[in-house]
Amino acid sequence: MEYDGVLPNVYSLCNVCLCVLVQTAECCGYPISIFFIVVNEFCERFSYYGMRAVLVLYFRYFLLWDDDLATSIYHAFVALCYLTPILGAIIADSWLGKFKTIIYLSIVYAIGQVTMAVSTIHDITDANRDGTPDNFTFHIALSMLGLVLIALGTGGIKPCVAAFGGDQFQEHQSRQLNTFFSVFYLCINAGSLLSTLITPVLRAQECGIHTQQQCYPLAFGVPAALMVVSLVVFISGSGMYIKTDPEGNIMWSVCKCIGFAIKNRFRHRSSRYPKREHWMDWADEKYDKLLIAQIKIVLKVLFLYIPLPMFWTLFDQKWQTNLYLMKSSLTLSLLCQTVNPILILTLVPIMDRLIFPLIQKCGINFSPLKRMTVGMLFAAMAFVSAALVQIEIDKTLPNFPSSSESQLKVVNIYNRTLNVTISPNEHLLIDSFGVQHTFSYFTLLVQEDIKSKPNEGKNAIRFVNGWTADLNITNLDSIEPSAASNYTLVSHGKRDFVFRHGEQWCEFSRKFGFGASYTFLIPSTVFSTDCASIIEVEDMKPNSVHMALQIPQYFLITTGEVMFSVTGLQFSYSQAPKNMKSVLQAGWLCTNAVGNIIVLIVAELGKLPKQWAEYVLFASMLVAVSIVFSIMAYFYTYIDPAEIEAQIRKEQGLEPEEKEKETLEMEEKDEGQKNDQEKSTNKSDKLHEFSKWKFIF
C-alpha cells in the first residue's frame, strides 16, 4: 500500500517539474512561449488588415454597391470590431480564461475569413458567365455572415492576446516585459504594412474558371490562410504557456456597483437626506469603499473620453474609406496606404526617443492630455490639406449645369455645316463633325454623357458612327449608322482599335492617361483617310493631380495618430486602478466604435455637394472638439491610483496584510527556496494582477 501511494506522488512531482521546466525555458532572456504569441499576432494582423484593405473595393466592384452603401457597411463592420472586445473581456475574465478565449474565438475568426473568401467565388455558384455574379443575394448573405464572424473573432481576442503575453514573464524579466510590448506593437504594424502591400496586388491578378476577372478569391483567401496559420502557431505553444484561471469579472462588479449607486440615489432624492460628496458614495451601503474609490477614478477618466470619438470619425471615415473611393477623382494606388504603417514604425521611436525628451529638456510641460490635443489638431490639419488637394482635383471635372439647367450636346455627323435653332431664339452654327454645348431650361437627352470620373483610374470612351453603314470596332458591338456606342472602360496606356466594314478596315491608336472620358467621331471618310480623320472630343479631362500630394496628408494624420492614440493608451493605463485596466480599455475602444457610428449617421444624412467643403467641415468640427477637450484637460488632476488605493487600505486596516504580502513576495524572489510546484502557483498569483491589463491595439 505504501508503494501504491508513493508512486502517484512521484509521478505527479515529475509532471510538475517537467511543466515548470518547459514554462520557464528562456531564449535571450525571454520566455520561449512569447515567440509563439508574437508570430500569432503578426499573422492575425496580416489577416485582418489584408481583408480590410480590399473590403470597400469588394463592396463597390463585386457586389456593385454605391459609395454610400459601401461606406455604411464598412463602418458598421469596424464599429462592431471595436464593440466586441467588451464581450471578449467578459468571457476571458469570468468564464474561459484568456488562453481558451483566444483559441475558441480564433476558430470563429478563421471560419469568418474562409466564409469571406468563399463568398467571392461566383464562376462555380452562378449560371451567369459574363464575369459578374448572378445571385447577388447569396454572395451578400455569405459575406455579411463572414464579416460578423470576423468582427466577433478579432474583437474578442483583442483584450486577451497582449495581456496573455504579459502573463508569461516572471519577476526577474521586467526589462524584457517592457520590450515585449514594443515588439508586439511592431508586429501589429508590420503585419498591417505587408498585408496592405500584398492584398491589392493579389486582387489585381486575373483569375476565374469561365471569365478572367479581378481575383477577389485570392485577395481574401490569403488572409484566411494566414488566420489558420495564426491559430496553428498559437496552439503549438500550448505546453509552454503560463495559464491563469479566471477569478471573476471586474467589469460586471463595476456595472452592478454603479447601478446600485444610481438606484440608491434615486430612492433618497428627497431633501431630508444628507448630500454625499460624490454620487458613487450612495453605493457604500453595499459595496466596499476601495471598489467605490476605484470606480470614481475610472469615471473621471471616462468623462475625458466623451469628445474623443470625433477624432476617430475623421480618421476612419476619410483614411479608411474615402481614399479608396477617391480613385475616381485622383490617380490613386492602393499601395499608397502603406505610407501610414511605414510612418507609424518611423514616428513612434522618433517621438519617444527624440521629440518628447527634447520638449521636456526645454522645460515645456507636454503632458499626455496636451499631446492628445495636439494630435487632434494635426488630424484637422490633415483634412485641410485634403481639401486643398480636392480643389485641384475638381478642376479636372467638367462644368455640369446647375439644378435649374439642363445640358444639351449636339453633334454634327454630316460633312457640312449645320444651323440648329433652339426655340425660341437660340441659334447654333455647328461645323462638320463639330460639337456644341449649350445650357437651356429644358431637357433633351438622346445619349446620356458620363457624369463622374471612371472607376479605378480607367478611361471611358465611346464612338459616334458617321459612316453610311454598320461598323465593327475591336472589342465593341457593331455600331449602326448615325448611332453612338455605349461607354467602354479602358485602362491607361496605348490602345489600338480596328474599324471594319466588309473588306475595308483601318486601325486607330490612342494613348490614354487616367480618369478621362472621350467621344470619338467617325466621319464618312474614315477608310479613305486610314482612320486619320477620326475626331476626338474630350468629355472629361484626365487626372492631372499627382498622388504624391497626398503624402503631407498621411504625414499629418499619422503624426496625429501617434500623439493621440499611443499617448491615450499610456494615459489610460497610468490613471487606471490596477484591477480595472480592462474597464478603461473597453471605454477607449468604445470611442472608436462611436466614431464609426457617427460616420454612419453622416452617411444617412447626406453629404455636402463639394467634397472639399466636407473636408473643411470635419476639420472645423475637430478643432472645436479639441478646444473643448483642452478645457476639460486643464481642470483634470493627474493622480496615482496606487497611492489612493494604499490610503484606503490603510484606513480600512488592510496595510499590515499588504506589507505581509509584500514581504512574502520579496522572500520568494530573493531566497528561491520553495519547491517548483509552489513557485509556479505563486507566480500565477503575482501575474494575475497583470492579467487584468487589456492592451488593445
* Arithmetic mean of pLDDT, 458-479: 84
Query: Coil, strand, or helix at residue 53?
Result: helix
Q: What global pTM score does this model have?
A: 0.69
Q: Which domains does the chain have, with CATH numbers?
A: 30-246 (1.20.1250.20), 288-396+543-653 (1.20.1250.20), 407-441+450-527 (no CATH)
* Arithmetic mean of pLDDT, 79-99: 81
Q: Select from 574, 513, 580, 569 the least CA-distant residue to 546.
A: 513
Q: Are 315 and 530 in contact (CB under 8 A)?
A: no
Rounded CA separation 665/689 (Å): 14
Q: What is the DSSP letter of 484?
A: B
Q: Is the pLDDT of residue 671 over 60?
A: no
**pLDDT at position 403, please?**
64
Q: Which of 128-132, 551-555, 584-588 has the lowest mean pLDDT?
A: 128-132
Q: Is the pLDDT of residue 649 over 60?
A: yes
Q: Is the pLDDT of residue 178 over 70?
A: no
* Arithmetic mean of pLDDT, 659-667: 42
Is the model more confident about 633 or about 430? 633
Q: In what order do the strands lie in the sheet with 535-540?
A: 488-490, 459-465, 517-522, 535-540
Rounded CA separation 555/503 (Å): 59
pLDDT band of 603, cuts 50, 70, 90: low
* Arithmetic mean of pLDDT, 657-666: 43
81 CB-near residues (< 8 Å, 6+ apart): 150, 151, 154, 155
Q: Is the pLDDT of residue 544 over 70?
A: yes
**pLDDT at position 692, please?**
35
Task: Quote the cell numbers at residue 443.
Answer: 431637357
Q: Is the pLDDT of residue 227 over 90?
A: yes
pLDDT band of 63, cuts 50, 70, 90: confident
pLDDT band of 287, cuts 50, 70, 90: confident
**∠ Cα 53 543 331 (to 5°):** 20
Q: Is the pLDDT of residue 694 over 80?
A: no
**pLDDT at position 423, please?**
63
